Amino acid sequence: MDKQIRDILLKFDEADRYERPSNFNYDQLKSRVINLVDRLENVFRLKFAIDDQVQDASFFCDVKIPFQLVTRPRSNVEYSIRISNFGGLVTLTFDEEYSEDVKGTIKSVLAEMNFVFIYSDDLDEDYDGSFDKFNEILGGTKPSWWIRYFDYL
């Protein structure tokens, strides 16, 4: 993992905070997500849905990406922008299935809206942060950075 990416991940790695940081503000993040969806819909002229029915997780919601933006969409796959509860971190699910233009546009909008994009490949690495007890969350299996910020716990 690139040192800059690791530094970003470590910046939000708060001990004893599994699902959300101590300064988490639900209403503020919900408002940011709504504004993000409005911006994406204006840019792409397509409907983006918010799936915020999430519990026991380190992420806030998925912003569903319309099939029209996926190179070869599969019906059993959910394509989305996943938004973490931590630090405005975001990633794309199945990011290899979007064109470079689509990915670039999404990343530009995310940056414009002050979200911090992390490639999912960087998140697949073993968690090596400072929250020692987080290493026990899977009962002996080493968790990844994906689990730390973007998964159900």
Tens digit of each residue's pLDDT (9 = 90 or more) over 58-86? 999 999 999 999 999 998 999 999 999 99
pLDDT digits (tens, 9 = 90+) for 102-143: 999 999 999 999 999 999 999 999 999 999 999 999 988 999
Q: Residue 87 class from Cβ within 10 Å (0-12 exposed, 13-18 middle, 19+ buried)?
A: middle
> What is the number of domains present in the chain?
1
CA atoms lying within 13 Å on the CB side of residue 39: 17
Its pTM surpasses 0.75:
yes
Q: What is residue 103's three-state secondary structure?
A: helix
Unique residue bearing structure tokens 């470590």: 10
Note down the domain range covering 17. 3-150
Q: What is residue 50's three-state secondary structure?
A: strand
